[in-house]
Structure 1
């Protein structure tokens, strides 16, 4: 299995940084510029893990994980934000987000969390 990872953030430079950080892990990486685009990708492809920013235009990261939580097939979601507050964290916990990351994100931590989620959920190990 080659996991499909969706990175969603309205900052294209940040998306590229995350893609670069994960590119050597044997993953297929997809990008979305906002939550609406993310949901379109999720509906078209078999996505195994979603990294999603909270604050985005049109559809927020919370809206994305809320949509994922209502589906029968569970897709782990990692929520990211530079402006995280307790209300967002409580909502993410209610939607059973896999993890909540505060920006700036240490790329080593991100790699470990992504690989850990894939191992826990699918039994996947990097090649």
Structure 2
């Protein structure tokens, strides 16, 4: 739960460091804190050590993919919302992500304003959080 006045933390997971940086910058301007992970393995380590309220996941990453992370998170009670993103999205990936209750499934490139709206919507639905005015 996000307490009143608390700033939620969104984990941005993508093997493209430039993309992570741009997304994090846009989300911080939207009123949230961010953490970054270069792949799913690093994302899982961050989730174990840090209070994460939402996860953005690229599908195709080395070692542990976004779908692998979603499989692990979907097994947990009260899983945080997660958004799956990919430039190479196909119907099989979309079906698998929907089965694991992804909050949203996005095709890259993603407009930053749209991504910020989705993050704020997920945080509002899951925690009742609203961005600062």
TM-score range, shorter chain: over 0.9
Alignment partner of 1:55 is 2:60: yes
- For 1:110 and 1:25, locate their aligned partners in 2 and report how far apart those are by CA, in whole Å: 10
Structure 1: 4+ residue segments shifted above 3 A: none
5+ residue gaps, structure 2, are: 1-5
Match of 2:122 among 106, 117, 121: 117
TM norm structure 2? 0.93
Match of 2:71 among 58, 66, 72: 66
- For 1:47 and 1:20, locate their aligned partners in 2 and report how far apart those are by CA, in whole Å: 17
1:66-87, Cα deviation, whole Å (9 max, x unpaired) = 1100011211000000000000
Alignment partner of 1:8 is 2:10: no
- For 2:109 and 2:31, locate their aligned partners in 1 and report how far apart those are by CA, in whole Å: 24
SS in 1 for 2:63: coil
Number of residue pairs matched?
Answer: 127
1:75-105, Cα deviation, whole Å (9 max, x unpaired) = 1000000000000000000100000010000
Alignment partner of 1:31 is 2:44: no
- Aligned-residue RMSD, C-alpha: 0.7
